[in-house]
Chain A
Amino acid sequence: DIQMTQSPSSVSAFVGDTVTITCRASQPITRWLSWYQQRPGQAPKLLMYAASNLLSDVPSRFTGSGSETEFTLTITSLQPEDFAIYYCQQSHRFPLSFGAGTRVEI
């Protein structure tokens, strides 16, 4: 099975800051990596797929990069609504697997 490791597990930041979250795969997954945002009490929301393809309703301050085993999600100019938990998910091979999440706190 492919293990996904996210770092950091939590990060504190101010509105306007830039935050970078890293997701590492235990084996190469080409670019089959998605990012989700989960706000308290809500279902996860897909932000990005195939490592860097942003959904049309997601602000451009979210960017993704990486391939094979190392990926990053960068949020520039943090907004109050960005404070949430972010998960990565690999879809290269079954079983599909998620990272443990990164909490972005004020």
Chain B
Amino acid sequence: QQQLQESGPGLLKPSETLSLTCSVSGDSIISDNYYWGWIRQPPGKGLEWIGSIHYSGSTFNNPSLRSGVIISVDTSKNQFSLRLTSVTAADTAVYYCARCGIAAAGRQFDNWGPGTLVTVSS
């Protein structure tokens, strides 16, 4: 059974860089049928799509997030990663990684990691 697990620092200071990794187990990240995405949820608020990446390296990012979002994939480790530079308190959120169907399948997020809380505070 495929599982996703986020990992990375839980506490950052303003202006630092957020780096998270999503490890995929139980299945290969190399699939023509899926993208791999990041979604975040500020405490007590709703869901915001950050971006998605295909194993080929093709990416789609949410332009409403400021520049400085980089999503990458490492097929040798069956992982994909998120980097967000110059964080502020507004980036405090639970960050989820999730599997996303390709366009023809509907781009729904059908498998999620448990999420990791990232707090930005001085």
User: Hey, which bits of chain A sit against chain B, CB under 8 A?
Assistant: 1, 32, 34, 36, 42-46, 49-50, 55, 87, 89, 91, 94-101
The A/B interface has a contact count, at CB < 8 Å, of: 61
Which residues of B12-48 are within 8 A (CB) of A?
A: 37, 46-48
Q: Is B114 an interface residue (CB 8 A)?
A: yes
B61: chain A residues at CB < 8 Å are 95
Please measure, in the bound complex, the distance between the C-alpha atom of A32 and the C-alpha atom of B106, giving whole angstroms.
6
> What are 7 A-B pairs with beta-carbon distances under 8 A?
A1-B64, A43-B113, A46-B111, A49-B110, A89-B47, A95-B60, A101-B47
Residue of B106, B107, B108, B109 most packed against chain A (CB within 10 A): B108
Chain B residue nearest to A45 in the complex (CB): B112
Given contacts A94-B62, A96-B62, 13 further A-B contacts (CB under 8 A): A32-B106, A44-B109, A46-B108, A46-B111, A49-B106, A49-B110, A55-B110, A89-B108, A91-B103, A91-B108, A98-B47, A101-B46, A101-B47
Known A-B contacts A43-B115, A94-B60; the reply to A87 vs B47 at CB < 8 A is yes
A87: chain B residues at CB < 8 Å are 46-47
